[in-house]
């Protein structure tokens, strides 16, 4: 994600604001203190304020779609492209769904088969409600050296979002960390982000964009490459035509294509690779924001992010850039969304 303006996070300005709101808004004061400590603050009083416990709602309420797009979604998540992906995601993801054995998973590893489920299993349905997705199927795999692995699962021919829970995730049992990990992963179970779990990079999303245009608005964009979203172009065309046989789906997709074209810069290819690269990076930042939001604990969130060297949803490394996340944590949007979660 693009770095926030460092001037908005200057420690002297944050200290002044902390003094102003310490008595009137202790919740915000605590958040400012936690950011200051992350930025290197050594004042014992500030550090003491930073370790004060964060109130966690006993259950999480759903963030409705309008609030999600306006306040949770990262600023760089271009809405016209998001609309196109929301239409395509539930269909295209079925192209990549396979039975559990294809992933080396078995029914006996499903959480409902265990006599004592791990604590994370109890958090997953709560976080799913907040994110606005069905609770994922969970496979408990303590022998896997991983945290949470997204699985596009086919059960009796139908798609189900699933997670393989590895030993790295099972090592965490504190609620804020578990919620952050789940919020980050379950973001990619929302319709508009589903395809992120099945692509290698922005080239795949551009190819899908071009293929849809070829079917619904031929001649307006170049022909897609030989491989589209993991399928050869002819097979992808056939599946898309089947999807768009229904007039309402075709109409919605044409509207989304026009919106993507209208929002492109003048003279710019609507399926420009750089647009899709920015969109993927913003999808990753959105997942960070969601995880932090349902966790409510900056330290727990950054403890997980500090372990990672890649931003999810991209095919190459980016420097971890946290100021944008700090700004979200200190924003009015964050406070309003936490109130929605708590009900």
The secondary structure of 31-72 as a DSSP string is: HHHHHHHHTT---HHHHHHHTSPPP--SSPPP--HHHIIIII
Q: Which of 167, 171, 102, 111 is nearest to 139 (CA)?
A: 111
User: SS3 letters for 273-289?
Assistant: HHHHHHHHHHHHHHHHH
pTM of the model: 0.92
pLDDT value at residue 309: 58
Q: Which residue pairs, CB below 8 angstroms and at least 24 apart, start in 151-159?
A: 151/100, 151/103, 151/105, 152/93, 152/96, 152/97, 152/98, 152/197, 152/198, 153/97, 153/98, 153/99, 153/100, 153/103, 154/94, 154/97, 154/98, 154/99, 155/99, 155/100, 159/90, 159/93, 159/94, 159/97
| In contact, 103 and 164? CB cutoff 8 Å | yes
Question: What is the spatial distance between Cα 320 and Cα 311, in angstroms, rounded to a whole number?
Answer: 7
Core vs surface per residue 313-323: b (16+ CB within 10 A) or e: bbeeeeeeebb
pLDDT value at residue 55: 84
pLDDT value at residue 7: 62
pLDDT value at residue 254: 95
Return the DSSP state at 223: P
Per residue in 273-292, pLDDT tens? Answer: 999 999 998 998 999 999 99
250 Ramachandran zone, left/alpha/beta (phi>0; psi -120 to 50): alpha
Per residue in 66-120, pLDDT tens? Answer: 999 999 999 889 999 999 999 999 999 999 999 999 999 999 999 999 999 999 9
pLDDT value at residue 56: 85
pLDDT value at residue 323: 81
Question: What is the spatial distance between Cα 285 and Cα 90, in angstroms, rounded to a whole number?
Answer: 21
Core vs surface per residue 186-203: b (16+ CB within 10 A) or e: bbbbbbbbbbbbbbeebe
| In contact, 333 and 71? CB cutoff 8 Å | yes
Question: What is the spatial distance between Cα 85 and Cα 68, in angstroms, rounded to a whole number?
Answer: 15
Question: What is the spatial distance between Cα 210 and Cα 233, in angstroms, rounded to a whole number?
Answer: 11
pLDDT value at residue 306: 79
Residues of the chain with pLDDT under 70: 1-8, 309-321
Q: Which of 127, 63, 65, 76 is nearest to 334 (CA)?
A: 63
Question: What is the spatial distance between Cα 140 and Cα 117, in angstroms, rounded to a whole number?
Answer: 9
Question: What is the spatial distance between Cα 127 and Cα 289, in angstroms, rounded to a whole number?
Answer: 13
Q: Which of 196, 164, 162 is nearest to 93 (CA)?
A: 196
Core vs surface per residue 58-88: b (16+ CB within 10 A) or e: eebebbeeeebbebbbbebbbebbbbbbbbb
């Amino acid at each position: 994600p693009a770095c926030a303006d460092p001037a908005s996070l200057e420690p002297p300005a944050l200290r002044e604001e902390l003094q102003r709101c310490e008595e009137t808004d202790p919740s915000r004061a605590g958040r400012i203190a936690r950011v200051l400590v992350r930025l290197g603050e050594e004042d014992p009083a500030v550090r003491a304020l930073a370790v004060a416990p964060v109130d966690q709602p006993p259950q999480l309420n759903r963030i409705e779609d309008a609030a999600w797009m306006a306040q949770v979604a990262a600023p760089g998540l271009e809405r016209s492209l998001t609309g196109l992906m929301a239409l395509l995601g539930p269909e295209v993801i079925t192209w990549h769904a396979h039975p559990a054995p294809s992933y080396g998973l078995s029914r006996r590893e499903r959480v409902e088969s265990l006599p004592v489920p791990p604590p994370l299993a109890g958090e997953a349905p709560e976080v799913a409600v907040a994110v606005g997705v069905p609770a994922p199927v969970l496979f408990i795999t303590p022998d896997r050296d991983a945290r949470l692995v997204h699985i596009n699962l086919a059960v009796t021919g139908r798609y189900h979002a699933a997670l393989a829970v590895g030993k790295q995730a099972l090592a965490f049992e504190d609620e804020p960390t578990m919620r952050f990990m789940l919020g980050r992963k379950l973001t990619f179970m929302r319709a508009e982000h589903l395809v992120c779990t099945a692509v290698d990079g922005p080239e795949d999303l551009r190819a899908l964009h071009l293929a849809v245009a070829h079917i619904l608005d031929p001649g307006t964009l170049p022909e897609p490459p030989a491989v589209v979203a993991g399928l050869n172009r002819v097979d992808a065309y056939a599946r898309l035509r089947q999807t768009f046989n229904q007039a309402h789906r075709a109409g919605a997709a044409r509207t989304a294509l026009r919106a993507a074209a209208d929002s492109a810069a003048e003279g710019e290819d609507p399926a420009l690779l750089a647009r899709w690269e920015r969109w993927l990076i913003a999808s990753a930042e959105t997942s960070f924001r969601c995880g932090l939001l349902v966790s409510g604990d900056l330290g727990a969130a950054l403890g997980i992010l500090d372990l990672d060297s890649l931003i999810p949803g991209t095919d190459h490394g980016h420097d971890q850039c946290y100021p944008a996340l700090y700004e979200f944590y200190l924003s009015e949007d964050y406070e309003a969304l936490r109130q929605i979660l708590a009900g």
